[in-house]
C-alpha cells in the first residue's frame, strides 16, 4: 500500500526546503512580490518609453527578467509541493495562487512586445546593432520573428487574461487522473490481490504472470472507459484552447503556431511521421519475434512490455541505481560526473518513491535559483534506473544551462529537452552492456533498449500522429467524440503494431490517460530527441575531446540559439530525416541481434 506523504523518510524526499524552508517563508515572499494593485509599478514605469533609446530598453528588459525570475522561484516551490500530494489543500492553494500571480504578470507585461514591434524600423535596426543591447540581441530577434503574429497591446493583454481560463482542461484532467481516480486491487494467477496504482501499473505489465498483466490492463483502462465522455470533453477543451490561440494569432494551423516561434519547420514533424511509417516493417518484425518468444497464440496489448527473458530480471535498490547512473556518465568528463554525484548523493535532488496523492510518472523541474529537482516513483526495475538516468540528464542540462547562461537565455527550448535525457539513457545502456556476464543478460539488455526505442520513437510518433489528427479535426470543425477518438486511436494501433498483434478493445481508450496530449505538440520531440541523442552518444563515445566539448557546449547553450542550430553545433541535423532513419536502422539491427541470441542461440 502506498504510504501517506508524512510517512516518507526525509532522505527519500527532494530538498524543496532549499528554495523556501517553510510555507510561512513562501507566503511572506508571495505577499512581497504580489504587492498592491496596480502591480509591478517598476515595470509599468517603462510603458510608452521604449522609443527613448537602447539604455531604456535594456533597463526595461532587465526589470522584466528580474520579476519573472522571482515569480518562477515562487511558482517552482508551489508546484513541487503540490505534486508531492495533489490532495493537500494548503499546497494546492499555494500552487493556484502562484499560477494566478504568474498569469497576472503575463497580463501586466503583455504591453512590451507590441510596443517594441510598433517602433519604426530604423529604431529597431539601431537597437539590434547597439552595443548596449548586444547581450539581449537574440532575445529581441525572437520577438521580431513573430511580429506578424503579435497583437495590439490591448489584445495581448486580453490573451494574457484568458490564459488562466484556458488551462482549465489540463488542470481538471490532472486532478481527476492523479487525485480522484482509485483503481482498487487486481489479482494475479495465484489469486493474490495487489493494489493497482499509476506506479504499480507499469510494474505489473512487465510481470511474467499473464493473469496479473491482463487484469491490470483491463482494470486500469476500464476506469478511463467509465469516464470517457468527461475525458473526451477535457481533451477537446484543451485542443480548442490551442485552436483559439492559433486563430487569434493568425497562424494557419495549430502545428505551425507551436513550431514557428521556435524556428522549427513543420517539415520536421511530417518527415518524422513519414520516416517511421515507411519503416514500420522493422517494428512488425519485433512484434512477431515477441509473439514467438512468449509462445502465445495471440499477442495481446498487455503482452507488449514483459521481458522476453524469464531467467534474467535486473533489479536494483535506489542507492545502486544512483551509483550506476553516476558511473555511466564518465564519458562526459570528471566535472560533469562530480556535479551529478553531488546532486544525487548530497543535495537531495530526487523525490524517490510513490506516496498517496503523489503525481504519477517522472519529471525534472527547478528554476534558475535552485538545484534541479526530480520526481519519480522508483520500484527497483531496470526501467526505473533508466528513468533516473533520463531525468538526471534533464537535470544536468538545466544545471549546465543555468551555470553558463544569463537568466533570459537559460531555459532551454522544449525541442531539445529530450536530447540530453535520452543521451544519458544510452550511456547507462552501454555501461550495462559492458558489465554483461552472459548472453542471457545481453539479450535482456538489448531487449530493454529495443523497448526504449519502441516506446520513445515508434510509440511517440504514433502519439504525434494522433495529436496532429485531433487538431486537424478541430480546425475542420469536426466534433471530437469518444467514438471518433477510439476509432482513430484503434486504427493507429493496428497500423503500428501490425498483423501479429491483437488490438484489444481496451486500448481504444488509452488516449484518455496520456497527459502529454495536453502539452501542445510535445510528444514528437521524444522521437526527434531519441534520434538526436543516439546519434550524439555514438559521436561522443566514439570520438575525442572535440566531440565531447561540442556536446557539452550544446547542453550549456540554454536558449541562446534556435534549437535546430544548437543541435547542429553539437553535430546532428534534424532538418533531414537521416537521424530518424539511422535510429530505425539501429532498431532493426538490434532486433536481428536479439533474434540471434534468443532463437538461433538456443
State yes or no: pLDDT of 69 exceeds 80: yes
Angle between helix 382-404 and helix 545-555 axes, rounded to 10 deg = 80
Q: How far apart are CA 82 and CA 514, in angstroms?
A: 20
Same domain, 460 and 600: yes
> What number of CA atoms fall less than 13 Å from residue 184's CA on the CB side?
11
pLDDT tens sequence across 324-352:
999 999 999 999 999 999 999 999 999 99
* Nearby residues of 507 by Cβ (< 8 Å), 6 or more positions away: 221, 301, 489, 490, 493
Phi, psi (deg, nearest 5) at residue 349: -70, -25
Beta carbons of 19 and 77 less than 8 angstroms apart: yes
Domain boundary among 135, 166, 197: 166
Report pLDDT for 1. 63
Beta carbons of 302 and 211 less than 8 angstroms apart: no
298 in a structural domain: no
State yes or no: pLDDT of 543 exceeds 80: yes
Enumerate the β-bridge partners of residue 363: 375
Please calculate the CA angle 510-514-519 and round it to the nearest 5 degrees: 145
Report pLDDT for 108. 95
Residue 184 falls in which region: left (phi positive, over 0), alpha (psi -120 to 50) or beta: left
pTM: 0.88
Report pLDDT for 441. 92
Say whether 322 is catalytic.
no
Report pLDDT for 164. 85
Same domain, 444 and 584: yes
Enumerate the β-bridge partners of residue 299: 501
Task: Provide the mean pLDDT of the chain.
Answer: 95
Neighbours of 484 (CB within 10 A): 15
Count of the separate structural domains present in the chain: 2
pLDDT tens sequence across 427-469:
999 999 999 989 999 999 999 999 999 999 999 999 999 999 9
Phi, psi (deg, nearest 5) at residue 583: -70, -40
Report pLDDT for 601. 54
State yes or no: pLDDT of 600 exceeds 80: no
CA 51 to centroid of chain Cα atoms? 40
Confidence of residue 602 (pLDDT cuts 50, 70, 90): low
Same domain, 498 and 598: yes
Beta carbons of 156 and 113 less than 8 angstroms apart: yes
Provide long-range contacts, Cβ within 8 A and 24+ apart, for 183-186: 183/219, 183/220, 183/223, 184/219, 186/212, 186/215, 186/216, 186/219
Confidence of residue 361 (pLDDT cuts 50, 70, 90): confident
**How confident is the model over 56-77, as a mean pLDDT?**
98
pLDDT tens sequence across 213-259:
999 999 999 999 999 999 999 999 999 999 999 999 999 999 999 99
Q: What is the CA radius of gyration of the chain?
A: 24
State yes or no: pLDDT of 295 exceeds 80: yes
Same domain, 276 and 419: yes
Q: What string of H, E and C letters represents the secondary structure of 17-78?
A: HHCCCCHHHHHHHHHHHHCCCCCCHHHHCCCCCCCCCHHHHHHHHHHHHHHHHHHHHHHHHH
Domain boundary among 132, 166, 200: 166
Report pLDDT for 599. 80
Q: How far apart are CA 332 and CA 318, in angstroms?
A: 23
CATH of the domain at 94: 1.20.140.70
457 in a structural domain: yes
Please calculate the CA angle 401-405-407 and round it to the nearest 5 degrees: 100
Neighbours of 274 (CB within 10 A): 14
Secondary structure (DSSP) of 233-268: HHHHHHHHHHHHHHHHTT-SSHHHHHHGGGT--HHH
Domain boundary among 166, 195, 222: 166
- CA torsion, points 524, 525, 527, 529, in degrees to nearest 10? 170
State yes or no: pLDDT of 276 exceeds 80: yes
The residue segments making up the domain with residue 279 are 253-291+396-602
Q: How far apart are CA 321 and CA 324, in angstroms?
A: 5
Catalytic hit among 104, 322, 354, 391: 391
339 in a structural domain: no
544 in a structural domain: yes
378 in a structural domain: no
Same domain, 129 and 264: no
Nearest Cα to 356, choosing from 3, 76, 72?
A: 3
77 in a structural domain: yes
Same domain, 279 and 148: no
**193-195/363-365 β-pairing:** unpaired
Q: How far apart are CA 295 and CA 378, in angstroms?
A: 30
Same domain, 158 and 286: no
State yes or no: pLDDT of 566 exceeds 60: yes
Report pLDDT for 403. 97
- % of the chain exceeding 90 in pLDDT: 93
Confidence of residue 271 (pLDDT cuts 50, 70, 90): very high
532 in a structural domain: yes
133 in a structural domain: yes
CA distances to 98, 314, 369 from 70, in Å:
11, 44, 9
pLDDT tens sequence across 29-52:
999 999 999 999 999 999 999 999
CATH of the domain at 501: 1.10.1370.20
Report pLDDT for 12. 97
Q: How far apart are CA 322 and CA 10, in angstroms?
A: 17
Angle between helix 382-404 and helix 318-328 axes, rounded to 10 deg = 50
Amino acid at each position: 500500500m502506498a504510504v501517506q506523504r508524512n510517512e516518507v523518510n526525509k532522505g527519500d524526499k527532494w530538498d524543496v526546503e532549499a528554495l523556501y524552508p517553510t510555507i510561512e517563508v513562501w507566503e511572506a515572499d508571495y505577499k512581497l512580490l504580489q504587492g498592491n494593485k496596480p502591480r509591478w509599478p517598476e515595470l509599468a514605469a517603462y510603458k510608452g518609453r521604449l522609443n527613448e533609446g537602447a539604455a531604456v530598453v535594456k533597463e526595461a528588459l532587465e526589470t522584466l527578467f528580474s520579476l519573472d525570475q522571482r515569480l518562477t522561484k515562487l511558482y517552482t516551490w508551489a508546484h513541487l509541493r503540490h505534486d508531492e500530494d495533489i490532495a493537500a489543500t494548503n499546497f494546492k492553494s499555494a500552487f493556484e495562487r502562484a499560477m494566478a500571480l504568474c498569469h497576472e504578470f503575463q497580463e501586466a507585461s503583455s504591453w512590451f512586445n507590441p510596443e517594441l514591434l510598433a517602433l519604426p524600423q530604423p529604431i529597431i535596426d539601431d537597437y539590434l546593432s547597439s552595443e548596449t543591447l548586444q547581450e539581449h540581441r537574440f532575445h529581441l530577434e525572437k520577438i521580431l520573428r513573430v511580429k506578424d503574429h503579435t497583437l495590439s497591446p490591448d489584445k495581448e493583454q486580453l490573451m494574457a487574461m484568458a490564459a488562466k481560463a484556458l488551462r482549465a482542461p489540463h488542470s481538471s484532467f490532472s486532478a481527476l487522473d492523479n487525485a480522484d481516480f482509485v483503481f482498487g486491487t487486481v489479482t494475479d494467477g495465484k489469486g493474490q490481490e495487489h493494489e493497482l496504482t499509476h506506479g504499480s501499473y507499469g510494474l505489473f505489465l512487465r510481470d511474467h504472470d499473464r493473469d496479473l498483466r491482463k487484469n491490470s490492463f483491463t482494470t486500469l483502462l476500464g476506469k478511463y472507459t467509465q469516464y470517457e465522455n468527461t475525458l473526451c470533453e477535457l481533451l477537446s477543451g484543451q485542443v480548442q484552447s490551442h485552436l483559439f490561440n492559433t486563430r487569434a494569432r493568425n497562424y494557419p494551423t495549430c502545428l505551425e503556431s507551436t513550431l514557428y516561434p521556435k524556428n522549427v519547420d513543420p517539415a520536421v514533424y511530417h518527415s518524422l511521421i513519414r520516416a517511421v511509417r515507411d519503416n514500420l516493417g522493422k517494428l512488425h518484425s519485433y512484434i512477431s519475434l515477441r509473439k514467438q518468444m512468449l509462445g502465445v497464440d495471440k499477442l495481446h496489448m498487455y503482452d507488449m512490455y514483459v521481458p522476453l527473458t524469464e531467467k534474467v530480471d535486473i533489479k536494483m535498490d535506489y542507492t545502486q541505481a544512483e551509483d550506476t547512473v553516476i558511473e555511466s556518465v564518465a564519458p562526459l568528463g570528471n566535472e560533469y560526473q562530480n556535479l551529478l554525484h553531488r546532486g544525487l548523493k548530497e543535495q537531495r535532488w530526487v523525490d524517490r518513491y510513490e506516496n498517496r496523492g503523489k503525481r504519477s510518472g517522472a519529471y525534472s523541474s527547478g528554476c534558475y535559483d535552485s538545484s534541479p529537482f526530480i520526481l519519480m516513483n522508483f520500484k527497483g526495475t531496470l526501467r526505473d534506473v533508466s528513468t533516473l538516468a533520463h531525468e538526471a540528464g534533464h537535470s544536468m542540462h538545466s544545471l549546465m544551462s543555468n551555470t553558463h547562461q544569463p537568466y533570459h537565455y537559460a531555459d532551454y527550448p522544449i525541442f531539445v529537452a529530450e536530447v540530453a535525457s535520452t543521451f544519458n539513457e544510452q550511456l547507462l545502456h552501454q555501461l550495462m552492456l559492458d558489465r554483461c556476464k552472459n548472453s542471457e543478460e545481453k539479450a535482456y539488455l538489448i531487449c530493454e533498449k529495443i523497448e526504449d526505442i519502441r516506446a520513445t520513437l515508434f510509440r511517440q510518433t504514433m502519439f504525434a500522429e494522433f495529436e496532429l489528427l485531433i487538431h486537424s479535426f478541430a480546425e475542420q470543425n469536426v466534433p471530437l467524440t469518444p467514438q471518433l477518438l477510439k476509432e482513430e486511436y484503434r486504427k493507429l494501433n493496428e497500423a503500428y503494431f501490425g498483423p501479429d498483434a491483437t488490438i484489444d478493445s481496451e486500448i481504444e481508450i488509452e488516449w484518455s490517460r496520456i497527459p502529454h496530449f495536453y502539452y501542445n505538440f510535445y510528444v514528437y520531440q521524444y522521437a526527434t530527441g531519441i534520434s538526436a541523442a543516439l546519434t550524439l552518444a555514438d559521436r561522443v563515445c566514439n570520438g575525442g575531446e572535440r566531440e565531447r566539448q561540442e556536446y557539452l557546449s550544446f547542453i550549456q547553450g540554454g536558449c541562446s540559439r534556435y534549437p535546430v542550430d544548437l543541435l547542429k553545433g553539437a553535430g546532428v541535423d534534424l532538418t533531414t530525416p537521416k537521424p530518424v532513419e539511422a535510429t530505425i536502422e539501429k532498431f532493426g539491427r538490434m532486433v536481428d541481434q536479439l533474434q540471434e541470441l534468443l532463437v538461433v542461440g538456443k
